[in-house]
């Protein structure tokens, strides 16, 4: 066996953060630089936003369909966020893992806990923190998308989300975007090299060992 023939099992790469901490930007940069990494497409009951495409950004389903999927155990995780239901369909993710591809998740701490319970050996959890609450609020206001009431709601939710930082494997303070992207990429690279994920490594080592 040659080193190039070593197979690798994929991993579930989770990025969580309060809204406005930079998680979405970091996710896009990771996806652009990693052809073996794809974004998990969640199902949701919320209506599409302008520019969103069904099956690309989300699978948009009604409440009845979502609850039927829950009953059929079709989700790896599911949660309610701001009154809407979100869930990760199980089948496509497991297919990616078996093929040696990695799946990126943009989910909150509740989803991460559920995903950890169902796929503990495959998951890598990264939490993104803002440098300060003042900067977080500035970023939310800079979007010019939300009302004062929504911003206040997001800031309140951020406090709850950040209280779960210790449940993650890695924590990054996003005070510099380029540095944060580099750090998250380094984590992904290192986790891909973990011994348990290199499925054919044992066979390779056997061919390298000297025999009497």
Q: What is the pLDDT of residues 99-153, one digit of tens each?
A: 999 999 988 898 899 999 988 889 999 999 998 988 888 878 876 667 778 888 8
- Residue range 3-40+100-208, CATH number: 3.40.50.300
CB atoms within 10 A of CB 174: 24
Q: What is the pLDDT of residues 170-203, one digit of tens each?
A: 999 999 999 999 999 999 999 999 988 888 888 8
The domain locations on the chain are: 3-40+100-208
pTM score, whole prediction: 0.84
Which pLDDT band, with edges at 50, 70 and 90, does 162 fall under?
very high
* Residues 6+ positions from 138 with CB-CB distance below 8 Å: none
* Residues 6+ positions from 58 with CB-CB distance below 8 Å: 41, 42, 43, 44, 46, 48, 52
pLDDT for 92: 92
- Residue 5 CA to residue 8 CA, distance in Å, equals 9
């Amino acid at each position: 066996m040659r080193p190039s023939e070593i197979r690798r099992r994929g991993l579930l790469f989770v990025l969580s953060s309060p809204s406005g901490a930079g998680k979405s930007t970091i996710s896009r940069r990771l996806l652009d630089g990693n052809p073996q990494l794809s974004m998990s497409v969640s199902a949701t009951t919320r209506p599409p936003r302008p520019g969103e495409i069904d099956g690309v950004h989300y699978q948009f389903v009604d409440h009845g369909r979502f609850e039927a999927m829950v009953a059929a155990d079709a989700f790896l995780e599911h949660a309610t966020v701001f009154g809407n239901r979100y869930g990760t369909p199980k089948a496509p993710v497991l297919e990616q893992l078996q093929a040696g591809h990695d799946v990126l998740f943009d989910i909150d701490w509740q989803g991460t806990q559920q995903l950890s319970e169902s796929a503990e050996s495959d998951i890598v959890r990264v939490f993104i923190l803002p440098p300060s609450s003042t900067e977080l609020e500035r970023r939310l206001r800079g979007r010019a998308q939300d009302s004062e009431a929504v911003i206040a709601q997001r800031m309140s939710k951020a406090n709850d989300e950040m209280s779960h930082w210790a449940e993650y494997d890695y924590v990054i303070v996003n005070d510099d975007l380029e540095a944060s992207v580099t750090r998250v990429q380094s984590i992904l690279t290192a986790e891909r090299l973990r011994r348990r994920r290199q499925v054919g490594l044992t066979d390779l080592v056997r061919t390298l060992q000297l025999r009497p």
